[in-house]
A and B are shown apart, each in its own frame.
Chain A
Amino acid sequence: MSHASQTARESSGTERGQPDDSGLIAESCRVPERFGAVFDRHAAAIHGYISRRLGRDAADDLVAETFLVAFRQRGGYDQDQPSARPWLYGIATRLISRRRREEVRFFRAIARTGIDPVADPVAEPVADESVRRADARTLHRRLAGALAGLSTADRDALLLIADGLSYQEAARALGVPAGTLSSRVARARRKLREGLGGVNPADEIGAWHG
């Protein structure tokens, strides 16, 4: 299961008869501790999103900040929105935007060194899995370099989609019309392709290794 679809499934508040996010948020206005359930549903995904963009230490800080802001502002939550994902991702993205230089440095460091500080340590690969692992690292270096070259707005749009938000959700998170969001994603993808060499780099490597 891809990360995106797993994230979408885990955020479904209606599974197992549980109230959706809007219901929990409404209850939390009377019983604050109910907001903890919103945290439990979304904190891991938000932490991963921030971690991908700024590193783990920043994610540890900003995930707390994201939910603290959300908790304090829960009285104004739009009850017509059953899922709090766009709202939470929007808060996290605004917090990340205050550290845009740090984000660019983070991606450039990955591109330069090939070391991804937030990647899960992998077991020693065996046989040709080690070749595929090396290929992925090479691609990720080039990808990180390309991400560093995007504008903040384009990078925000693209990385929200990569985190599994729909175009509608990402537009809501950023507070922009859906058309604007689509344009930013299309432009970002085009620049990524250019930064990755103008052709599908995976096809290149795939051909090399047969």
Chain B
Amino acid sequence: MDEMTLLEEFRAVVAPPDDVTLVRARARMLDGGAPARRGRAGRGAPGLRPPGRRGKLALTGLAAAASVAAVTVTLAAPGSGPSRQGAASPAVRELAYRAAAAAAAQPGVRPGQWVYWQEKAYSSPDSGPAPNETFEVWTTADATNAAYLSKGKVVFIPCGNCQFIGQPVIVHAENGDQISGMSGKATVSYAGLSSLPRDPVALDRHLAGLPLRGWGPAPVREFEVIKELLTTYVMPPALTAELFRALGNIPGVTADRNAIDVAGRHGIGFRIALPSDAGGGFDELILDPKTFGLMGEQLTLGRAAGAKAGQVVSGTAILKTALVSGPGILP
């Protein structure tokens, strides 16, 4: 072994950087820079033009927003639109990047890891009979298995070859346990998560192009896919972070600092307006204002759907969640 091989070994033992460090550095880079005009390259340092020939950098909303982000975050008033037509505001992006940093710091889990959920599901009376209760359910990170406790015994919820979208809702009634919720095929399978583009622009474009049960322009479809993934799977932290960054890049997404979930808790709501021909209103993901952990989701329909404008039609509040060693195990 010669000295170069020894040196390469010396280099190879270096531990890789943690995700949080990279997420913060990335956010700092994008928040601290400004759009640049392209110029001709010349001699000198690799990739740079020689001194004295630097082009002028034009300030745009991004550079101006960087100074806002460095001091404080000004959130859009509830119901207001984005600061620029066709683009999520810098304040929304900043919040999304904070959520990404928090997500990146979470531990990685394997697909079969069991997860405990304590949730409250809500449906408005106009939506028909539905439970409005707190319940407990256990699912695997890849959403292929689910179970609950009935009189102290673990009961597995059959799903065959499908998976659950979100978590099944459990109601313990006198005449038996009732299970509701969605199952079927998620827009992106757990196995398919690894093939999602890692570049935020490419990820945005990919998600916006996915078929969705429903309707809506590309930004709405993308928001719905991200919401589905975040509320269904417990994903690798880096991917969760990437999805939050993508969320912050969706045109039309707004943030409400005074969002209230169906359990009455205050959080930060990322919202997107729904098409008027589908009832209008907005769909919303709510995050904890301190930890940026996912608190829940809810749908608020507009007047066109027959509900009172601004009334929450349905939603789920995640009261507690934890990684556990198996179904029926409490954290």
Q: Taking beta carbons and an 8 Å cutoff, which residues of A are in contact with B?
A: 2-4, 18, 26, 29-37, 39-40, 43-44, 47-49, 51-52, 56, 59-60, 63-64, 67-68, 70-81, 84, 86-87, 90, 116, 118-121, 136, 139-140, 143-144, 158-159, 161-163, 172-173, 175, 189, 192-193, 196, 200-203
Q: Contact between B16 and A86 (Cβ–Cβ < 8 Å)?
A: no
Q: Contact between A26 and B7 (Cβ–Cβ < 8 Å)?
A: no
Question: Which residues of B, 16-40, contact A by the 8 Å Cβ criterion?
Answer: 16-17, 21-22, 24-26, 28-30, 32-39
Given A31-B201, A47-B21, A90 and B46 contact (CB-CB distance below 8 Å): yes
Q: Contact between B13 and A48 (Cβ–Cβ < 8 Å)?
A: no
Choice from A67, A84, A87 contacting B25 with Cβ under 8 Å: A67
Closest to B17 in A: A47
Closest 3 CB pairs of A and B: A75-B36, A87-B47, A78-B41
| Extra 10 A-B pairs, beta carbons < 8 Å, given A73-B48, A84-B47, A163-B11 | A37-B200, A44-B22, A60-B25, A63-B17, A72-B32, A87-B48, A121-B15, A136-B9, A192-B3, A202-B6
Q: Contact between B4 and A76 (Cβ–Cβ < 8 Å)?
A: no
Stretch from B54-62, B116-124, B271-279 contacting the other chain = B54-62
For B6, the chain A residues whose CB sits under 8 A away are 139-140, 143, 196, 201-202
Q: Contact between A78 and B14 (Cβ–Cβ < 8 Å)?
A: no
Q: How many residues of B contact A (CB 8 A)?
A: 49
Choice from A2, A32, A118 contacting B33 with Cβ under 8 Å: A32
25 A-B pairs with C-beta separation under 8 A: A26-B38, A32-B30, A32-B34, A33-B201, A33-B249, A36-B200, A40-B198, A48-B16, A52-B14, A63-B22, A63-B25, A71-B30, A72-B33, A72-B36, A73-B36, A73-B48, A78-B47, A86-B47, A90-B46, A118-B14, A120-B13, A121-B15, A139-B6, A140-B10, A175-B45
Closest to A30 in B: B35
**Taking the nearest CB of chain B, how far is it from the CB of A10, in angstroms?**
12
Q: Contact between B46 and A81 (Cβ–Cβ < 8 Å)?
A: yes
Q: Contact between B8 and A162 (Cβ–Cβ < 8 Å)?
A: yes
**Taking the nearest CB of chain B, how far is it from the CB of A113, in angstroms?**
15
Given A33-B201, A36-B26, A202-B6, A76 and B46 contact (CB-CB distance below 8 Å): no
For B160, the chain A residues whose CB sits under 8 A away are none
**Taking the nearest CB of chain B, how far is it from the CB of A133, in angstroms?**
10
Closest to A118 in B: B14
Question: Which residues of B, 134-175, contact A by the 8 Å Cβ criterion?
Answer: none
How far is it, in angstroms, between the C-alpha of A162 and the C-alpha of B22 when the chains are bound? 23
**Residue B126 lies at the interface, judged by CB distance under 8 Å to chain A:** no
For A37, the chain B residues whose CB sits under 8 A away are 198-202
How far is it, in angstroms, between the C-alpha of A47 and the C-alpha of B28 when the chains are bound? 15
For A159, the chain B residues whose CB sits under 8 A away are 7, 11
For B2, the chain A residues whose CB sits under 8 A away are 200
**Taking the nearest CB of chain A, how far is it from the CB of B61, in angstroms?**
11
Choice from B26, B36, B38, B48 contacting A39 with Cβ under 8 Å: B26
For B62, the chain A residues whose CB sits under 8 A away are 32
**Taking the nearest CB of chain A, how far is it from the CB of B101, in angstroms?**
13
Choice from A2, A39, A75 contacting B55 with Cβ under 8 Å: A75
Given A48-B16, A68-B28, A73-B48, A3 and B199 contact (CB-CB distance below 8 Å): no
Closest to B32 in A: A68
Choice from B11, B38, B46 contacting A3 with Cβ under 8 Å: B11
How far is it, in angstroms, between the C-alpha of A204 and the C-alpha of B93 when the chains are bound? 58
Q: Contact between A36 and B17 (Cβ–Cβ < 8 Å)?
A: no
Closest to B26 in A: A39
**Taking the nearest CB of chain A, how far is it from the CB of B4, in angstroms?**
7
**Taking the nearest CB of chain A, how far is it from the CB of B302, in angstroms?**
31
How far is it, in angstroms, between the C-alpha of A200 and the C-alpha of B7 when the chains are bound? 13
Choice from A4, A18, A35, A144 contacting B30 with Cβ under 8 Å: A35
**Residue B1 lies at the interface, judged by CB distance under 8 Å to chain A:** yes
How far is it, in angstroms, between the C-alpha of A67 and the C-alpha of B10 when the chains are bound? 25
Q: Contact between A52 and B10 (Cβ–Cβ < 8 Å)?
A: yes
For A51, the chain B residues whose CB sits under 8 A away are 14-15, 17
Closest to B62 in A: A32
Closest to A71 in B: B33
Given A3-B8, A34-B201, A72-B36, A77 and B47 contact (CB-CB distance below 8 Å): yes
Closest to B41 in A: A78
How far is it, in angstroms, between the C-alpha of A39 and the C-alpha of B30 when the chains are bound? 10
Given A2-B12, A33-B200, A43 and B17 contact (CB-CB distance below 8 Å): yes
For A139, the chain B residues whose CB sits under 8 A away are 6
How far is it, in angstroms, between the C-alpha of A172 and the C-alpha of B44 when the chains are bound? 9
Given A29-B38, A75-B38, A118 and B15 contact (CB-CB distance below 8 Å): yes
Q: Contact between A76 and B8 (Cβ–Cβ < 8 Å)?
A: no
Choice from B13, B26, B199 contacting A119 with Cβ under 8 Å: B13
**Taking the nearest CB of chain A, how far is it from the CB of B54, in angstroms?**
7
Among the interface residues A77, A80, A118, A119, which one has the most CB atoms of the partner chain B within 10 A? A77
Q: Contact between A175 and B44 (Cβ–Cβ < 8 Å)?
A: yes
How far is it, in angstroms, between the C-alpha of A29 and the C-alpha of B34 when the chains are bound? 9
